[in-house]
Structures are given as structure tokens and as C-alpha cells.
Amino acid sequence: MVVGTGSHVGKSVLVTGLCRVFRRRGIAVAPFKAQNMALNSGITPAGGEIGRAQISQAEAAGLEPHVDMNPVLLKPTSDLGSQVIVQGKVLGNYKGVDYYRQKPRLLPKVMQSFRRLQAAHQLIVLEGAGSCAELNLKRHDLVNMSMARRAGAKVILVADIDAGGVFGQVLGSLSLLTPSERRLVAGVVVNKFRGDAALFDEGIRIIERRGHKPVLGLLPFFRLGLPQEDGVALERGAPAGGGGALRVGVARLSRISNFTDVDCLAAEPAVDLRWVERPEQLAGLDLLILPGTKNTLAALAGLKQSGLFAAIQNYHALGGHLLGLCGGYQLLGRAIADPLGVEGPPASEQGLGLLPVHTVMAGEKTTTRVTAAALPGLPFAAPGHLRGYEIHMGQTSAQGTSRPAFQLQARLDQPVDLADGQVSPEGRVVGTYLHGILDNDTLRAGLLAWAGGGQAISTLGDYAAFKDRQYDLLADLLEEHLRLDGLLEPLA
């Protein structure tokens, strides 16, 4: 099990890399995170929703993702409440205190999922959440040291030296664990080190002497094209990526979700991808993307407060190209209504008005993988079968003349014949409910050519192969800098 001294110290990335390391050694390995709080999620082949990090970890392990890899997913809808998803399906919306009352109901589900994974694989690499030593949360813990104890797992404690205070992080966390919890800790990994590793030799000796645990490795600071688990990366100013001539902006919406949709664009050498939070940042963009959000009306209010609402309308009036994905698609429409209070207090608001559609939030959530085809109305070429997935509460309908963007051909491998998305009358605005659609190489190439004024753009090509290379590069890094011998031996 990999636990951390705090959030965003590198737990998810380390689990991803370990899954690839052990897979390359011929071990049947699978990831597991009992409870995940994240707005980036994805869909399993059976239609269940889990955290995006566990989908990446499954890919690194050479597996199809399964709901048992992340049996409890919390998707915040406000500062006080979250939508709770259990084994892939929505349980309901809960505030913190109400959620804690669900623990007797959730723990059997968590252990059921873990035991099924354990029975099907030789090795499980578990992931903790946040800090492993939050004393006020320990009696409600499903995912950190209590899960390690239930699983009988060896524990690796990860700290982030780039954030500062690494000795306080490590020694403080170890000191707050109970003696039985400390016995589970096999060692410490110091992550995100910059500079000459020899300069931290004394630091390693201090941690080992005072913490009474070996330092298993000092990982250098590195950047790979791996999906981010949640919005913490954005809060800490993580760069979007780029350097190319084609300028693509992504609106940083309130409760932004599934912004991993644009990871493939960040990997494109021709693209300069940047996050947009203020009106002046729209200047000079070739394409503006409105990504998903877990609370569309709150995101709409945020656009108005920041001045981006009017600025986006002006950007369009001046000839700008826009793409809306899921919640971003809803924002581009004429109106958004939430009469049942699905995402917050019941309300109805006017949208940006750039697409002739109206959205009503529904009580039932759509979660499915799809196969689709581009329709003639789509203003850029996207030949062949396209794959993506849907995660949305809203139902969007055209007002007046409809110009859908895609035709859904299958959901969960069952044939369907449904229209998706919408294209504006002048052809410069496209909206769709399909997440992951940009991972399709042909569509992405057509989108970039459209944004660039019809000029052919030299693209990355095979994005799936690119991601697989990133998993191998991460595994290479861990093999070089971590002492992994002994981790597979039973607990003493």
C-alpha cells in the first residue's frame, strides 16, 4: 500500500508506476483505492464510474478497469457535500456528517470489492488518500491505515520534498501512527527532489535514524504525460503544457471535472495549451474549450463573476472557435434548469446562448461507454469509428433546427441510433456529451486543423501508444531510484 504525508505528494503516480513495474516482472497485479475523492472519473466496460487515477493504474497493469478497483468515489458538488458513488453507481448526495453515517453500510462493500480483486490477482497495490495521519478522521477511515491493516499490506509512506518541510512530513506522520500501524510501514519514499541527490544523503540518514524506517528511494522531480487525479494540480499551478504555435485555451471552471479530456492536447507538439481564468487570457486563442463541471450552474455563476461570460460571447462574435464537453456543452446552450436540485439548490439560468439547446438536470445519471461516428454537420473531419464515454445528469435538447455533431452507434457494445451534441448555425461552436472523444487520433487531427483555419497540423499520432510509453518511462524511473526488493515478501 502507498500512503502519503498529504495530498498531491505522488501516491497515484507511484501506484501507477508500481503496477507497470510488477506487470513487467510477470506478476498479475491490480490497483485498489477504497475511497477516492476526485472530479476526474471514467467509465468501466460495464458502465460503472470510478476515479480516473484507477483507470490509468489499470492501464499500467494491462487490465480493463473495474468498479472493484475504486468501490467508493466521492465527487464534490459544493464545499460541504459530494455525490457518493458505490461500486460504480450513484448512492446519493451527502454532506460530510451524513456521509460518515454511511460507513457501516460502505465498509462491507469495500471489503467485498477488495476480496474479489485479491482472489483474481497475485498482487494488489493499494492507494491511500490525503494524509495517513489525520487524527480527526481516523475513526471514519476507509482508505488509509485501517485499510492497510484489513488487507495485511506492507505500507510505503510518500512525502513531497518540493513542498518543503519533508522532515516534519515524514517524522510527524510516523509519530502520529499507532505502534501497530508503524509496524506495517516498510519504508519511506521522498518524492519530487530537485538537484544533486548526494546533497540529501544526510537527510536520508536523519529520516532513517529518527523515524526508524528505511528510505526506499529518492525520486527526482519529473514530468510525464500522465493524467491528473483531481483539481489539486490546478490549484498548485501545474502547467497545462505546450509550446506549439496553435493556441488552445481551457476554461478553468468551478468544480471542474474530467479535465483529463485535454491531456492528449497537452501532449501535442503543435499545441500551446493554457488555462483560462480571466477575460484577457482569451486574446489570441485559436480554440477555447469549456470542459466538464460537477455543478454547471455554479460554473455559470463563476463565469459571470470573473467576467468570462461576456468575454466568451465576445470571443465568439469576433470569429473564435469553441468546443464544449459535457458540462461545457450545457454552458454553451441557451438555458440550464435544475428543477429537482440535482447539483445544488433548484434554479434555472440563461446560458451563453452560443448553441440552440436547452438543458434540464435529470435525477438519473448516464454513465456509459460509447462508439460514435461524426455527422456531416461536424465542421471538421473525423473519419472512422470514434470511442468515448458519457457521465452526465443533464438531458439536452435542441431548440428549433437541430444540427447534431455525432451519431451514437453503440452504448456498452449494444447497438443504438442516437444523436449527440450540437453544432452552431455558423459552424464555429461544437458541443458534445462525449468525454475522451479527443483521444481519437483522427478526430483530434481534424479539430486542430479546424482551429488552425483549415491548415493541416502535424499531430502526435497514436495517443494510446504515447500513454503506454509514459507508463514504461515511469516504471523505468522507479526501477532506477527505488529499492523494491523485499516488498513482495510477507509481513514479518
Q: Where are the alpha helices (DSSP H) in 291-371?
A: 296-306, 308-317, 327-332
Measured between alpha carbons, how far is 118 from 62 in angstroms, rounded to an integer? 16
Measured between alpha carbons, how far is 137 from 271 in angstroms, rounded to an integer? 43
CB atoms within 10 A of CB 119: 7
326 is catalytic: yes
Stated as kind and residue range, the H or E segment containing 24 is helix 11-24
Indicate the DSSP class of residue 188. E
Indicate the DSSP class of residue 1. -
Question: How far does the chain reach from its first CA to its final CA, in angstroms?
Answer: 16
Amino acid (1-letter code) at residue 290 = L
Which three cell numbers, joined as nine digits, stand for 483?
529499492
Measured between alpha carbons, how far is 11 from 228 in angstroms, rounded to an integer? 11
Residue tagged active-site, from 316, 326, 392, 481: 326
Stated as kind and residue range, the H or E segment containing 479 is helix 463-481
* Paired strand residues for 336: 349, 359
Q: Is the dihedral of CA 199, 200, 205, 206 positive or negative?
A: positive
Measured between alpha carbons, how far is 126 from 26 in angstroms, rounded to an integer? 19
Q: Is the dihedral of CA 50, 54, 59, 64 positive or negative?
A: negative
Which three cell numbers, joined as nine digits, stand for 96?
460530510
Measured between alpha carbons, how far is 280 from 24 in angstroms, rounded to an integer? 48
Residue tagged active-site, from 8, 321, 435, 481: 435
Q: Determine the distance from the C-alpha atom of residue 254 to the mean position of all C-alpha atoms in its chain, rounded to a whole number.
A: 15
Which three cell numbers, joined as nine digits, stand for 314?
465576445
> CA-based Rg of the chain, rounded to a whole angstrom?
23
Q: What are all long-range contacts of 316-320, with beta carbons under 8 Å and residues at least 24 apart?
A: 316/354, 316/428, 316/429, 319/428, 320/282, 320/285, 320/287, 320/288, 320/428
Q: Are the C-beta atoms of residues 82 and 37 closer than 8 Å to each other? A: yes
66 is catalytic: no
| 410 φ, ψ (degrees, to nearest 5) | -155, 145
* Nearest one of 238, 234, 176, 170 to 208, comparing CA atoms: 170
Measured between alpha carbons, how far is 171 from 162 in angstroms, rounded to an integer? 16
* Nearest one of 376, 369, 385 to 443, comparing CA atoms: 385
Q: Which residues are catalytic?
A: 326, 435
